[in-house]
Amino acid sequence: MNAWWLLFAVFALSWCLTLFLRRYALARSLIDVPNERSSHSIPTPRGGGVAIVVSLALVLPVLGGLGLLTSDILCGVLGAGLLVAVIGFADDHGHIAARWRLLGHFIAALWALYWLNGLPAISFFGQAIDLGWMGNGIALVYLVWMLNLYNFMDGIDGLASAEAICACLGMGVVYTLIGHGELLWPVMVLAAAVAGFLFWNFPPAKIFMGDAGSGFLGFFLAALAIHAAGAAPELFWSWMIMLGVFIVDATWTLLRRLVRGDKVSQAHRSHAYQYASRRFASHKVVTLSVVAINVLWLAPLANIVGSGGMTGVVGVVMAYIPLAVLCYFFKAGALERVAQE
């Protein structure tokens, strides 16, 4: 059955829901007011990412009913993602202690891994290796790190949305070229839902994503990588490449702050993308630059790795080295006053 019309439906649904959430946020004074740690200067409504969550929650079961999605995505990934979104929504409306948020995140990750049957065999230099219980532990930490990482990187207009769309469309191309069309629907529907939100979030943003949306996106993308590895081990590395901008910037910044002894749960604006947005005085320039990096550098590498033309580890190293250079250039993780000297 031809169900491609659902992509337009989910885009339109997300677009309309974001408009409604913007009006709701304005009426309830759910406004992100700029402070010394902000990367924006105008008070802006927040919580628009809920539109992405609701759109997927309504459309994915339809795809399941049409036989286009399996229960591991519907019950496992979507179910766990909804828990992450609820935690983020509650935190957007009233602060939740970090330890309780983290506990909820690990519960969600465990639920998803149960339905995904744990971490599948991963390709290392041409050999598919099952890491067993150690692999499942790594996958658990990976899921929780990715959802928090995405929250950290949602700091300027349009960036988190553009990254998700690029990753989904890039992997959609990889799936098509290597003959794994059965994996297409989750990434295409997610891209359409995020695109509906991006209409309102593109610089200058009329509404922000909020923790509910960013955490859900990070978790969903990370879980899709594990799901894809079950079909072809090298696809996990392709996902790691496509998400490289966020993985490298967030990890580099976190490690540098840990070494310095900073309280890592404290808000800051020392990511490479944040320094870049201040240097160029433009969120749009940085967001579009990230899109260009994804399209011109990361997507071709992800395709080469996915098609077996290069081993995954080598592909990730090649992808990440220039990104690490950019982090160094923009002084990611440095104290702001030091970086400006």
Q: Helix crossing, 159-177 with 299-306: angle to 10°? A: 30
Cβ–Cβ under 8 Å, residues 53 and 209: no
Alpha-carbon 35 to chain mean position: 25
- DSSP code string of 47-89: -TTHHHHHHHHHHHHHHHHTT-S-HIIIIIIIHHHHHHHHHHH
Residue type, 133: W
Q: Within 13 Å and on the Cβ side, how many CA atoms surround 88?
A: 30
Does the annotation list 211 as a binding residue?
A: yes
**Helix, strand, coil % in the chain, rounded to nearest 5:** 70, 5, 25
Residue 324 DSSP SS3: helix
Which tokens go with 128?
Answer: 């598919």
Does the annotation list 136 as a binding residue?
A: no
Q: Within 13 Å and on the Cβ side, how many CA atoms surround 220?
A: 33
Q: Within 13 Å and on the Cβ side, how many CA atoms surround 98?
A: 6
> CA quadruple 175, 17, 290, 227: dihedral positive or negative?
negative
Which residue numbers belong to the known binding site for Mg(2+)? 151, 211
Which residue numbers belong to the known binding site? 151, 211
